[in-house]
Structure 1
Amino acid sequence: MLLKSVAFISVLAVLAQSVPASVKVLPFVDSSLPVKFRQVIAEAAPKVPAYLASYAFGVDLSVPVSTSQLQCIKQAGYAAVFVRAYNPAGQGSFDQNACNTIQNAYYAGLGTEIYMTPQPSSSKQGYQQLDEVYQGLNNVGITVRSIWIQVTSPTNWPANANSNVNFINSIVSRARQYGMTVGIYTSYYDWNQITNGWSSIGNDVLLWYWNVLGGGVNGETPASFADFRPFGCWTAASVKQFAQVEQVCQVTVNRDVYVAGSMLKAADAVEEDGKIYTGGYITGK
């Protein structure tokens, strides 16, 4: 916690020195991680355990990745990649890197899910931020079937839980209008701090929770759901992030586990008109 606080204060200090006083600076938002371990050097991740036949493994990331790197990730035993499609920097914007990464993952034989790290302090409403993701991917021939909304790092969210609930609900409602499956990426602590334990988001909303002890291999928790405890409206989870800031095939990632068999075949990732599907692979526990 001390490390996280020091890193946060350091970033604010840099921003304060580099931006004129007349310019409004939005609160600092992590680009990807629910916990930022800025002084952790990513080390090689352990091999995917072969004995856990009931589970499948994936990675989540916020950086562009090549086809060869993704082929390496697949060969290392991973079946899915969670790609960030919305960058919270400034007022928030569609992450253009997602387009190539999703296409590269398809050619590598990996399933893809997308997540958005929204900017709750933006002048843009939540649904407008989702529109940017939907339109940005659709413009390059990628059909979005599901979206995961990152709700982590309470210091990056307004203190008003009702305002946060309305913002999240705006995204969820718009996603439903598009016919998307919706999931939330959060933790017991994050959800209670940000939304005051909001429990009426809807039983159709999936959960991807994180639980790590720190960045790197030593901070990993078991690659299973044994540590899950109900919160919000969720009595079970679909995905767990059990490791952060590790390297797989020279790419810094977080590692995730989900129930084997809950993922559609990668061969089903293209429509008849040639468009690539993203999302809809994780169907629940």
Structure 2
Amino acid sequence: MLIINNYAYTTFITSDAFNCSRTLGFERVIIRGYFEAYDRDPGGAIDSNFLRNYMNAKNGGYTYIDVYMSPCTGRSTCKAPLQQVNDLIQFINTNQMIIKTIWLWIDIDPDSGNWDLGPTKNRQILNEFHTAWKSTGLEFGIYTSQYQWEVITGDKDWVLNSSLPLWYAIYDSHPDFNDYKTFGGWTQATGKQFAGDSKFCGGRFDENIFR
């Protein structure tokens, strides 16, 4: 199954762009719902285009819609993990959005200094997000890569919860799982992001394949 997610720094995708992407064979879309908002105190906020992009994806013909969350981490001004999760869930429920899976985006942004507190603190933060998501009863998963996981946690084999679905990134332009190597306790992945910042249909998307 081919899937697109809106490129992390893209603010808005039109319904025409979503509709066009479906004609190219993409069957599912993953929209950014939450971002770091490091310029705010406290940090962490709903993406201002989340609702519009969700509605445009529906109007563009998508019925299978996921959300990803780029959490605020790495500094004392970030909201607590539980508050960040609750903010997103409240927004989804208030707007009666039908979301299949919510993905926690675990990825280093060198410009922001996220995940910059060292492996011990990073593991603690990941456990707090995990506990917060479990309390919602909703389906959630992890987006990361072997490299990012090792740098953030200090050990590529450190396990948070290997029963969660894994969506990993390797930009090799190959829509298959032949390159997957075990990390974090995951013996296989649910999804792979194989191309980043692709420009088509008047939008910017990352391209993925899911089982």
Is this a same-fold pair by TM over 0.5?
Answer: yes
Distance in 2 (CA, whole Å) between partners of 1:187 and 1:257 is 15
Q: Residue 76 of structure 1: which of 21, 24, 42 is its match?
A: 24
Distance in 2 (CA, whole Å) between partners of 1:251 and 1:93 is 23
Provide the residue aligned with 1:165 in structure 2.
123
8 Å contact from structure 2 (residues 4, 207) kept in 1? yes
Distance in 2 (CA, whole Å) between partners of 1:79 and 1:94 is 25
- Residues 171-190 of structure 1: pairs in structure 2 closer than 5 A: 171-190=129-148
Provide the residue aligned with 1:92 in structure 2.
44
**Alignment-mate amino acid for residue 13 of structure 2:** V
Give 1:109 shift.
2.4
**Cα shift readout 1:39-80 (whole Å, capped 9, x = no counterpart):** xxxxxxxxxxxxxxxxx1111114321222111111111011
Give 1:149 shift.
0.8
Give 1:141 shift.
1.4
What secondary structure does 1:79 align onto? strand
8 Å contact from structure 2 (residues 65, 98) kept in 1? no
Distance in 1 (CA, whole Å) between partners of 2:81 and 2:190 is 24
8 Å contact from structure 1 (residues 182, 204) kept in 2? no
Distance in 1 (CA, whole Å) between partners of 2:13 and 2:178 is 31
* Residue 192 (str. 1) matches residue 150 (str. 2): yes
Distance in 2 (CA, whole Å) between partners of 1:228 and 1:257 is 13
Provide the residue aligned with 2:169 in structure 1.
210
Provide the residue aligned with 2:70 in structure 1.
117
Distance in 2 (CA, whole Å) between partners of 1:117 and 1:249 is 25
Provide the residue aligned with 2:191 in structure 1.
239
**Cα shift readout 1:180-212 (whole Å, capped 9, x = no counterpart):** 122111111100110123633223311110012
8 Å contact from structure 1 (residues 154, 193) kept in 2? no
Q: Residue 201 of structure 1: which of 152, 157, 160 is its match?
A: 160
Provide the residue aligned with 1:128 in structure 2.
83
What secondary structure does 2:104 align onto? strand
What secondary structure does 1:231 align onto? coil
Structure 1 length-normalised TM? 0.65
Report % sequence identity: 26
Provide the residue aligned with 2:210 in structure 1.
258
Give 1:144 shift.
4.3
Give 1:139 shift.
1.5
**Cα shift readout 1:213-259 (whole Å, capped 9, x = no counterpart):** xxxxxxx4311000000001101001100001111201011111112
Provide the residue aligned with 1:12 in structure 2.
none
Distance in 1 (CA, whole Å) between partners of 2:197 and 2:179 is 20
Provide the residue aligned with 2:3 in structure 1.
58
**Alignment-mate amino acid for residue 88 of structure 2:** V
**Alignment-mate amino acid for residue 51 of structure 2:** C
Q: Residue 95 of structure 2: which of 125, 134, 140 is its match?
A: 140
8 Å contact from structure 2 (residues 29, 65) kept in 1? yes
What secondary structure does 1:254 align onto? strand
Give 1:145 shift.
4.5
**Alignment-mate amino acid for residue 230 of structure 1:** T
Provide the residue aligned with 1:37 in structure 2.
none
8 Å contact from structure 1 (residues 145, 179) kept in 2? no
Q: Which runs of 5+ in 1 are unaligned?
A: 1-55, 213-219, 260-285
